[in-house]
Structure 1
Amino acid sequence: MNSIRLTFMVVAFFSGIAGALQIPTLSLFLTTEVQVSSLWVGFFYAVNAGTGIAVSFLLAKKSDRQRDRRNLILICYLLAAGNCLLFAFNRNYLTLITVGVLLTAIANTAIPQLFALAREYGEKTSHNVAMFSAIMRAQLSLAWVFGPPLAFMLVMKYGFTAMFMFAAGIFLLVTLLAWWVLPCVVRTEEGNVAVDPPLRQKGAFDKDVGLLFCTSVLMWTCSAMYLIDVPLYITAELGLSQSLTGWIMGVAAAVEIPIMILAGRYVNLVGKRPMMAGAIVAGMLFYAGMPWFSTAGGLLALQAFNAIFIGIIATVGMLYFQDLMPERAGMATTLFTNSISTGVILAGILQGVLTEYGPHSSVYLLAVLLLLIALPVVCKVREV
């Protein structure tokens, strides 16, 4: 493996670490530090995701028209560091949901742009793009093995300020690595969507892309509802330790890694559509089991199904979008990440309403229902 491919892996890993410090603790941060109710927590997630969709689409459109996307990645990582510092020293809900959300939206564009750059680099160097993407995505899961337990350890021992400052330092390190080593992959004029109208007709407005987007939204809504709810479910309803949340997420991420690598290896043999359908079935088993397991051991064992679900949709889902839109890597990857953001919007609203007026188990039962809807939809997407 050459130094550039290794740097892609390292940047993806540390980006994942920084994200894994913040995402699992955000709902706890808003309820304990900012002191808002479940409804306002859900509203924050919805606004955050909605802003992210709008900003990332604008930046993706711009990135696909430029000949190189590396500078945009550097700017996003710098703003990510600034956003961490804002959350470290501010506890005003209005400031966080305006300035903080805007900075988060720009910062979150770094990951899809990084994967788009990696795909372009893989194609230029005749590297196995599916395997390269899967190994890179596995770095994010590897980061989630260590990130959530580390996040809850930092919060419990040193507080949220120290945790966010640590995340800011990681983003600054990532910025330096990306600036120093990541390549400038200059695209030819023929790949520019601004001068290729037929490609536009086959890409963003394609029926199969729309079906895949709807499927992805439903799947990520389930995952986001789980991520928002599980720290509160474990502590408030089950009465278990806060640190268990970190261990649960870490175990799931550890199991995801071999699943992602295997998915990247065999996706062309098995097919993307069958793999996505299998992931949905695993997700249904996971969410159906959540209300029935109230011990640490049971919840940890259940993560095997969660790992299959996330490991496949995170790897194969992104490849599916990219293969349906082969000449628009930036837009394809952004559509994938925006399906996650759209899922977070729905999840924030649904989880907030359900837990405000009902038990936490209703969140997981709804997730099963959403996946039952997603299964026949994904079966209609053409295989590529």
Structure 2
Amino acid sequence: MKFELFRGNSGVYFWLNGLAAMAFSFILPVMSLFLIEGLGIEPMYIGIYTVGTAISTILISQILGRLADKGINSKTLLLIAIGFLCLAALCFSLLTQFWQAIIVGWCFMAFGASSIPLLLAMIRRFAEQSGKDSTKLNSQMRSSVSLVWIVGPALAFASVGTFGFRANFTLAATIALLVFVMVWRLLPSASKPATSQTAHHETVPPFPYKVWFLGIGILFANMANSTYINAMPLFITKELDLPVSYPGIFMGLTAALEIPVMLLSASWSHRFGKMPLMMVGFVMAMFFYIGIQYASTIEWLLALQLLNGLFYGIFVGLGITLLQDSAPKRVGQVSAFYTNAMSVGTMCGTSLMGFVAQQYGFRNAIYISFVAIVISLIIFLVMHLHESKRDRLAEQQLPLL
């Protein structure tokens, strides 16, 4: 039982999640640096790439999630998405113009990014079919992503600094190809029985209001994180004049810190509640983003990563489960909605970061992160107070029924 996570179908999902994350870790962290230094664009144009890619990802992932909920084999859909991820990485290794990057990002990368909600939905359905705790399983699976991100970004920035962007993206394509083969050979078919779902398709209710509010809160929280992620490499290398490998070290350290937090978040949520725990994570993020404004040494920046690890470990450990619990009969679409909220947050954060950074510098751009995380905290607090009030009213009326 000790190594159950690494065996059987659980092990397959765990390693697939990790390897897919490795492919993304060689693309996403270096993208802003690639667009500016590799293609020679100005920071404000990063938003054009990010916005287009995010909108395309939203549309495609929602369509694929709906198809999965209708009974289309999720394994086939996942193979298509991973195939496009491999193709996107290959194209990034060859392109030389910004307009080419836009085409690759808006078309191929959008399909590739849609592999994330498909995997999340498949993991949730696997948890339900096997009788596992979905909160615990989601946290365990997400820990494989964080485990990879301990070394992935550091290796990506190191490979860019040593061998260049072409070699880095070629390596990402190779890893994506390995994921494709593993999905094809090892993953069981995941067709959802379309009996009741299809029969009552017309009567499927819309998302509960809670899904929308939580999604908006998650959007702003990821907007805060993505603003920091995109501003930090340029802040470190341009304004502090540190080696290009340092941003990867910071990302890796945060990932190492968030893994135990993520694994513990499942048990913490049973004790304190998912929403209160998420709000604690947001408070940690507020202190982190304020601390960045005053950080002047490497030691200070490294110490601050503890707060970032606490925030992000709780955030990604519980976010998807909160949404899936709110609409358990629409796991595919809710999982896509979750990743779309994350994508829109990335889109907004990156776009604003580019504009603010060009006018006021990369360090000041992180003020966007602080404002966004405060908005997330307010949304979750209002939702929590509303649900607490509703529960109290229900308890008062119960004896009268």
Normalization by structure 2: what TM-score? 0.91
The aligned counterpart of 2:395 is none
Asked if 2 retains the 8 angstrom alpha-carbon contact of 1:65 and 1:194, the reply is no
Identical amino acids, percent of aligned pairs? 28
The partner residue of 2:332 within 326, 330, 333 is: 330
Q: 1-side partners of 2:319 and 2:55: how far apart?
A: 21
- CA-to-aligned-CA distance 1:154-208 (integer Å, 9 cap, x gap): 111111111111111101111111111112233233552672455423xx2x211
> Could you say which residue in structure 2 is the equivalent of 1:380?
382
One-letter identity of the residue aligned with 2:110 = A
Q: Whole-Å Cα distance in 2 between the matches of residues 74 and 314 of structure 1?
A: 24
Residue of structure 2 equivalent to 1:247: 249
Q: What does 1:16-165 align with in structure 2 at a 5 Å threshold?
A: 16-165=21-170
Q: Which amino acid aligns with 2:345?
A: G
Three-state SS of the structure 2 residue aligned to 1:22 is coil
CA–CA distance in structure 1, aligned partners of residues 248 and 339 of structure 2: 23
Contact 2:353 2:368 in 1 (8 A): no
Give the match for residue 287 of structure 1: 289
Match of 1:298, as an amino acid? W
Using the alignment, how far apart are the partners of 1:43 and 1:79 within structure 2?
21
For residue 176 of structure 1, what is the amino acid of its counterpart? Answer: V
Cα deviation, residue 127, structure 1: 1.7
- Whether the 8 Å contact between 2:17 and 2:142 is mirrored in structure 1 is yes
Distance 1:287 1:330, change over 3 A: same
Counterpart of 1:13? 18
| Structure 1 contact 67–188 (Cα < 8 Å) conserved | no
Partner of 1:187: 192
How much does 1:47 deviate?
1.7
SS at match of 1:242: coil
Deviation of the 1:294 alpha carbon: 2.0
Contact 2:266 2:317 in 1 (8 A): yes
CA 194–317 in structure 1, closer or farther in 2 if over 3 Å, else same: farther
Residue 190 of structure 2 aligns to a residue in which SS?
A: coil
Q: 1:67-113 CA distances to partner (integer Å, 9 max, x unpaired)?
A: 43111011111111111000001112112102332111111111111
Q: RMSD of the TM alignment (CA)?
A: 1.6
Does the 8 Å contact 2:268/2:277 carry over to 1? no
Secondary structure of 2:205's counterpart equals: helix
Q: Is the 8 A contact 2:211 2:323 kept in 1?
A: yes
Instruction: Give the whole-Å Cα distance in 2 for the aligned partners of 1:41 and 1:374.
Output: 24
Unaligned runs of 5+ in 2: 392-401
Contact kept, 8 Å, 1:193 with 1:200, in 2: the verdict is no
Q: Is 1:176 matched with 2:181? A: yes
Alignment check: 8 A CA contact 1:255 1:304 kept: yes
Amino acid at match of 2:278: M
Aligned residue pair count: 381
Q: SS of the residue aligned with 1:11? A: helix
Q: Following the alignment from structure 1 to structure 2, what is the Cα–Cα distance between the partners of residues 191 and 359?
A: 55
Structure 1, unaligned runs of 5 or more: none
Partner amino acid, structure 2, of 1:325? A
CA distance in 2, matches of 1:380, 1:197: 32
Structure 2 residue 374 is the aligned partner of structure 1 residue 369:
no
